[in-house]
Structure 1
Amino acid sequence: MTPDVREFTVAQARALIPEVRERAARIVELRADLAELAHDLRTSGSSPLGGRAELKALEARLDEQIAWFTGQGIEIKGIAPFLIDFPAVLDGRSVRLCWLEGDAELAWYHRTELGFAGRRPLP
Structure 2
Amino acid sequence: MGLFTVDEARHELARLRPVLDEIVTVRADMVELASGTPTPLGGLPERKAAEARLNELMTEVQQTGAELKGVAPLLVDFPADRDGVPILLCWLEGDTELGWYHRADLGFAGRRRL
TM category, shorter: over 0.9
Larger of the two Rg values belongs to structure: 1
Distance 2:52 2:25 in 1: 14
Residue 111, structure 1, aligned to residue 103, structure 2: yes
- Tell me the residue number matched to 2:14: 18
- Tell me the residue number matched to 2:68: 76
More helix as a share of residues = 1
Unaligned runs of 5+ in 2: none
Distance 2:47 2:15 in 1: 25
Structure 1 position 104, deviation (Å):
1.3
Structure 1 position 19, deviation (Å):
2.1
- Tell me the residue number matched to 1:58: 50
Superposition misfits of 4+ residues, deviation over 3 angstroms: none
Residue 27, structure 1, aligned to residue 23, structure 2: yes
Q: Cα RMSD between the aligned structures?
A: 1.1
* TM-score of the aligned structures, taking structure 2 as reference length: 0.94
Paired positions, count: 114
Secondary structure at the residue paired with 2:89? strand
- Tell me the residue number matched to 2:86: 94
- With 87-96 and 46-55 compared, the bigger mean Cα shift is at 46-55
Superposed CA deviations along residues 60-119 of structure 1, whole A, max 9, x for unmatched, are 111111011111111111100000100010111000000011111110000001011000
* TM-score of the aligned structures, taking structure 1 as reference length: 0.87
Unaligned runs of 5+ in 1: none
Return the letter of the residue paired with 2:75: L
Distance 2:64 2:13 in 1: 12
- With 77-86 and 16-25 compared, the bigger mean Cα shift is at 16-25
Distance 2:75 2:99 in 1: 13
Structure 1 position 24, deviation (Å):
1.2
